[in-house]
Amino acid sequence: MAKYKHIIVPKDGKQITVRNKKLRVPNNPIIPVIEGDGIGRDIMKATRRVVDASVQKAYKGRKRIVWMDIYAGERAHKLYREWLPQETFDAIKKYVVALKGPLTTPIGGGFRSLNVTLRQVLNLYACVRPVRWFKGVGSPVTHPERMNVIIYRENTEDVYAGIEWKKGGKEARKVINWLNKNMKTSIRADSGIGIKPISVTGTKRLVRKAIQHAIDKKRSSVTLVHKGNIMKYTEGAFRDWGYQVAIAEFRRKIITEDELWSKYKGKMPRGKILIKDRIADSMFQQVLTRPDEYEVIATPNLNGDYLSDACAAQVGGLGMAPGANIGDYVGLFEATHGTAPKYTDKDMVNPGSLILSAVMMLDYLGWDKAGQLIEKAIEKTIAKKTVTYDLHRQMKSAKKVKTSEYATQIIKNM
Ligand code: NAP
């Protein structure tokens, strides 16, 4: 067993392993958990209680999660004098599936962001965000129930790859001079420079995961969202490579939108998945006007960033927006919001985002029965109008409860 400096490996749990390209999950898996900064403490406590209760209820003691604290952010800095210790990466890699609260990005810590670093170092290339509405939650749209999508956002490329040079710096000047001289561009000398790489490798592994999800969860369409009309060799290529992977690897299970009209007269054949593509700007209209025409969405990094928040806004905002960052096998499940520092230790915020991320985690483990119990219990709790402050301000005659009380209500409603 690996020796860690501060991580204590629980004796009563077992490691998740990967065999024949599949996760092998014991009945008592060790799940590393990063509590997170700011509101992380409150929402992680609530989440662990809800998850433990659901697993107990679903499997009557036959299964149990054995949590193992690992450290990042402020807690790590106190313990190790480092924001992201190596043994945190090692533990996530070794134990395969982990749960994470939000982290503050230290100013002057030498990181662009702890979250981005975790994703890049662990090669968690798919940022997965399901967005659905829970009955009773206030919404700025007339039919929030029509929104039920899952967004697969590429996590490692695009303008987010961090290849940037500051205006006036040596590197920016060098790149500008070289491009202007050799590529006949006319970039202004006072420009900052960012590079947008999008590769076949990055695109295909993401779209493959999105299509596989549609197959596993019996969803009927996958939409490639891109800005290929303008950025032909990056965004346009993302679309082309997306169709290529669909046709080369999933031929029997999918049809393209062109084929829908050329071969099937616009009538969807039973049991197939429709692969379509939309230009990003039009997609922002579509998710408002016809959200029920979309189920699984695969998209490059920047589009995905905007789109997932825009979709989440329609169903109750950040407090209800779960997420996961997934690589070939390793999955890091986390709330999509930040540390909301003004609410630190106030026992006030909505733990829903982290709890729903844990539901995704249970699903990933194949423990969907426990996950479904939680989702139903959240539905019931909201239907009874017992909610935290954020939902309270969007609902009429609801009862406002604390983070911990909300978790207790969810457990009662299971
Ligand atoms: P934020 O922490 O997401 O909070 C922004 C606002 O969203 C809050 O003031 C609150 O709005 C609402 N909110 C967030 N979480 C909520 C919850 N659980 N329940 C109810 N409402 C919630 O964004 P930020 O203030 O821009 O960022 C703060 C820090 O978090 C920064 O250091 C940033 O780098 C970090 N961050 C981390 C992650 C991550 O770990 N994945 C992600 C984003 C940001 P109201 O005030 O209107 O109630």
Contact 44, 349 (CB under 8 A): no
Q: Is 407 exposed, middle or buried (0-12, 13-18, 19+ CB in 10 A)?
A: buried
Q: Any idea which residues carry the catalytic annotation?
A: 160, 227, 281, 305
Task: Please identify, by atom number, the ligand 1 atom nearest to the C-alpha of residue 354.
Answer: 18
Is the pLDDT at 383 greater than 80? The verdict is: yes
Alpha-carbon distance 250 to 255, whole Å?
9
Within its chain, how far is the Cα of 208 from the centroid? 16
Please identify which residue in the block is written with the tokens 């301000």. 393
Ligand 1 proximity of 408 Cβ (cutoff 6 Å): no
Within its chain, how far is the Cα of 140 from the centroid? 23
Q: How confident is the model at residue 109 (pLDDT cuts 50, 70, 90)?
A: low
Alpha-carbon distance 251 to 122, whole Å?
31
Report pTM: 0.93
Q: What phi and psi, each to the nearest 5 degrees, are found at residue 69?
A: -65, 130
Contact 2, 94 (CB under 8 A): yes
Is the pLDDT at 117 greater than 80? The verdict is: yes
Q: What percent of the chain has pLDDT over 90?
A: 88
CA-nearest residue for atom 35, ligand 1, is 338
CA-nearest residue for atom 44, ligand 1, is 338
Q: How confident is the model at residue 111 (pLDDT cuts 50, 70, 90)?
A: low
Mean pLDDT over 112-137 rounds to 90
